[in-house]
């Protein structure tokens, strides 16, 4: 009798265990469904020109290879120069601009115009010129049919005016931002940073340049004549379908959307005409996911004078340089060593031509040497800095610190295994291309 009671007690646990297992599976299914709905884009699969590599917008079965650039089969064109935006008003201490995001059409190739997004009527917007110490007023207008933001990439300004994902301007909405420029001269840029729309809006054309100048940069004997010996170069690449359209949904890649047709300032196969003098190139990687390793076609030396943050201490002689998305570099090239009628090109490591430099002008005099000193950069004493061990997690391009992901309307504190006293605070954003971006 005793054995029978024990057996009956054991038998009663079976339905309880079964119920627990079912409940666990149900909770797992609910969590997974919630995660898919809230944290992943939901788009229908498309047939794409890249076959299996771009199987669907969810991108779970894609490789992470970058699409190879190809030489466009069309005549070369003179490089388009972004307009220097005219201010609404300007004094020595302040300047006011109006920046408008809108839809438009752009001529890239022969045939139909391409549907694009624009700032102030141009795919790749105008150049905003500001000076250190100026109070900046910007009237922002969103004439798109969706929300957007205006992010000032590289400006050291308060977060509430920086145009991040938490400060969207609704369709047909407007806003005003005011801030003071307090940083040294540098080449910066601005673009959309709308939550889960940044990559597509930038791909469609929402980006432009910011030139920060100061007294020191004005005193340096460097090329400064815009479009003559000082050229901005925004590097991008795009896919065009048979109707000359981008069709971002079709070519979208979860690991970063890349194209096969190189563009510089929206120009395919661009060239510039230069004299036998120093030529300054302000290079911005405006691509969504492509790295560029750039050199001159004849493998000659040039000098790098600036990076994202401003001027280097001295000019650095180089043969090539690498730019990741959003990164900037300024180089100067000695064109006096070439004869009139000759041509040298800026090329990617794949030997794809990015920009042709055609020598059309004679020397106007002897070439002055570059300034020996560009900036005063105090050395950083590494021994005085704390050691920090940062662990990465994720797969492919989806890398984050070990912390919770932050979404619109919710901030999470650092969840690293280290003390937050050393790391201070870490904010993880899931935004452009659905990568996780880390802002310290």
Please report where in the chains the tokens 């938490």 appear, as a residue.
Answer: 166
| pLDDT confidence of residue 434 | 37
Contact 316, 337 (CB under 8 A): no
| pLDDT confidence of residue 62 | 40
Continuous segment of H or E residues that includes residue 423: helix 420-423
Q: In degrees rounded to 5, what are phi and psi of residue 433?
A: 55, 15
Q: Is 5 among the domain residues?
A: yes
Q: Is 206 among the domain residues?
A: no
Q: Which of 344, 332, 284 is nearest to 304 (CA)?
A: 332
Burial bucket for residue 113 (CB in 10 Å: 0-12, 13-18, 19+): middle
Strands 230-238, 278-285: pairing is: parallel
Domain count, the chain: 2
Q: Is 194 helix (H, G, I), strand (E, B) or coil?
A: coil
Contact 166, 408 (CB under 8 A): yes
Q: Is 227 helix (H, G, I), strand (E, B) or coil?
A: coil
Q: What stretches of 239-307 show up as alpha helix (H) in DSSP? A: 248-251
Please report where in the chains the tokens 């969810």 appear, as a residue.
Answer: 58
Q: Is 1 among the domain residues?
A: yes
| pLDDT confidence of residue 422 | 45
Q: Is 410 among the domain residues?
A: yes
**Rounded distance, CA 129 to CA 187, Å?**
10
Token pair belonging to 199: 């990559």
**Rounded distance, CA 262 to CA 269, Å?**
8
**Structural domain of residue 411, as residue ranges?**
386-439
Q: Over the Cα atoms of the chain, what is R_g? A: 26
Contact 188, 204 (CB under 8 A): no
- DSSP-assigned beta bridge partners for residue 273: 358
First-last CA distance in the chain: 69
Q: Is 437 helix (H, G, I), strand (E, B) or coil?
A: strand
**Rounded distance, CA 208 to CA 232, Å?**
11
Q: In degrees rounded to 5, what are phi and psi of residue 377?
A: -110, 105
CA dihedral 185, 181, 196, 233 (to 10 degrees): -30
Q: Is 223 helix (H, G, I), strand (E, B) or coil?
A: coil
Q: Which of 378, 437, 374, 353 is nearest to 403 (CA)?
A: 437
Contact 250, 48 (CB under 8 A): yes
Q: Is 342 among the domain residues?
A: no
Q: Is 227 among the domain residues?
A: no
Reported pTM: 0.78
Q: Is 163 among the domain residues?
A: no
Q: Which residues of the chain have pLDDT under 70?
A: 1-22, 26-66, 364-365, 395-440
Q: Is 431 among the domain residues?
A: yes
Strands 94-106, 135-142: pairing is: parallel
Token pair belonging to 37: 């709905």
């Amino acid at each position: 009798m005793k054995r029978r009671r024990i057996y009956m007690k054991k038998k009663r646990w079976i339905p309880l265990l079964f119920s627990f297992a079912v409940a666990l599976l149900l909770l797992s299914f609910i969590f997974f469904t919630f995660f898919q709905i809230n944290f992943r884009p939901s788009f229908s699969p498309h047939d794409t020109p890249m076959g299996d590599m771009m199987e669907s917008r969810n991108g779970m079965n894609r490789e992470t290879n970058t699409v190879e650039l190809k030489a466009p089969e069309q005549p070369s064109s003179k490089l388009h120069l972004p307009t220097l935006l005219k201010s609404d008003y300007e004094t020595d201490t302040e300047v006011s601009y109006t920046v408008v995001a809108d839809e438009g059409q752009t001529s890239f190739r022969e045939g139909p115009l391409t549907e694009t997004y624009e700032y102030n009527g141009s795919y790749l917007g105008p150049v905003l010129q500001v000076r250190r110490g100026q109070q900046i007023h910007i009237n922002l207008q969103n004439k798109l049919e969706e929300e957007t933001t205006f992010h000032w990439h590289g400006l050291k300004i308060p977060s509430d005016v920086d145009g991040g994902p938490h400060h969207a301007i609704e369709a047909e909405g407007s806003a005003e931002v005011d801030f003071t420029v307090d940083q040294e001269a540098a080449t910066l840029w601005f673009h959309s940073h709308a939550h889960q729309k940044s990559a597509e809006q930038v791909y469609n054309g929402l980006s432009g340049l910011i030139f920060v100048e100061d007294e020191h940069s004005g005193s340096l004997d460097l090329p400064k004549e815009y479009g003559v010996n000082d050229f901005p170069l925004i590097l991008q690449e795009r896919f065009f379908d048979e109707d000359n359209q981008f069709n971002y949904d079709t070519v979208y890649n979860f690991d970063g959307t890349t194209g096969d047709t190189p563009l510089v300032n929206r120009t395919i196969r661009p060239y510039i005409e230069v004299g036998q003098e120093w030529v300054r190139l302000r290079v911005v990687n405006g691509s969504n996911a492509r790295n560029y390793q750039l050199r001159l076609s004849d493998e000659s030396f040039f000098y790098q004078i600036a990076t994202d943050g401003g001027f280097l201490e001295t000019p650095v002689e180089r043969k090539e340089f690498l730019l990741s998305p959003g990164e900037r570099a300024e180089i100067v090239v000695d064109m006096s060593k070439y004869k009139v009628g000759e041509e040298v090109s800026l090329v990617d490591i794949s030997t794809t031509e990015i920009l042709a430099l055609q020598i059309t002008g004679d020397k106007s005099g002897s070439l002055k040497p570059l300034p020996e000193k560009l900036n005063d950069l105090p050395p950083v004493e590494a021994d005085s800095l704390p050691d920090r061990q940062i662990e990465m997690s994720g797969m492919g391009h989806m890398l984050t610190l070990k912390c919770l992901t932050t979404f619109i309307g919710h901030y999470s504190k650092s969840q690293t295994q280290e003390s937050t006293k050393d790391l201070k605070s870490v904010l993880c954003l899931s935004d452009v291309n659905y990568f996780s971006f880390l802002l310290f």
